[in-house]
Structure 1
């Protein structure tokens, strides 16, 4: 990722107030392109926009009856492109939920709170450090 390219983030949450608040935080505090979606289905329909990161609510049950939940959406994102890092969000502070998300190949899990945005910023930084190290390692391994 070059410094001139803005990071594209998909925010997916059925809680309109939380979604708007998170969008404003990202737009005010860093150089991001943000696309927001209230359902997993809408997120999936727009994956061709090639997000760098997807931040996805675990529940997603507040807008459309029988809508995809966060884990189903996570699985479909990974089917589309397993390299897209997905960070799961939930108001549930349960280790079982976090472990379940990790089993579905989420990069990380964040509990919704007043500090969620700060955690997400740190996770995004970690994602890009990890990706850079992985590229360097692959480059090195290709030359052996």
Structure 2
């Protein structure tokens, strides 16, 4: 259940140390309700918890070699909840990997580095600014359509 004024964030990564450090960073620098998952399968099974944003690792095969990869997980998330923003995260600093993620409707692609957390924070801020603009635009359109000219 979403707590008032808190962003519900799913962090999905098979690297337990990185996952924990990312969770701690978000807890220290924002008002988040965080759920963490080591596999895409676990993340998908929990989509009924209604996350606002998902940060998803690209590979996801460190815990289980047969686990679903990040792109497959992203595709299933987008099939089930097309409007849910998913930010892909990986150690792969390759343009073709980033382009592939964007073709699969990721909101953004962030390389795991010393600046990754700052980029993730900026992405989440951008997502919320866009959602606010969409609400304002919808309100304006709804209001405008109620007037007769």
TM-score, normalised relative to structure 1: 0.94
Could you say which residue in structure 1 is the equivalent of 2:135? 135
Could you say which residue in structure 1 is the equivalent of 2:122? 122
Matched, 1:19 2:19: yes
Alpha-carbon distance in 2 for matches of 1:141, 1:121: 30
Larger Rg, first or second structure (1 or 2) = 2
**C-alpha displacement at 1:61, in angstroms?**
1.1
Matches within 5 A, 1:16-55: 16-55=16-55
Note the residue ranges of structure 2 that are not aligned, 5 or more in a row: none
Matched, 1:71 2:83: no
Deviations 1:34-71 (A, max 9, x none): 10000000000100000000000011111112110001
Note the residue ranges of structure 1 that are not aligned, 5 or more in a row: none
Could you say which residue in structure 2 is the equivalent of 1:6? 6
- Over the aligned positions, Cα root-mean-square deviation in angstroms equals 1.3
Alpha-carbon distance in 2 for matches of 1:34, 1:76: 21
**C-alpha displacement at 1:141, in angstroms?**
2.8
- SS across alignment from 1:96: helix
- SS across alignment from 1:130: helix
**C-alpha displacement at 1:24, in angstroms?**
0.4
**C-alpha displacement at 1:29, in angstroms?**
1.1
Alpha-carbon distance in 1 for matches of 2:65, 2:111: 24
Stretch moving more, 39-48 or 58-67: 58-67
**C-alpha displacement at 1:93, in angstroms?**
0.7
Runs of 4+ that moved beyond 3 A: none
Alpha-carbon distance in 1 for matches of 2:34, 2:25: 10
- SS across alignment from 2:138: helix
Alpha-carbon distance in 2 for matches of 1:141, 1:105: 26
Alpha-carbon distance in 1 for matches of 2:109, 2:138: 27
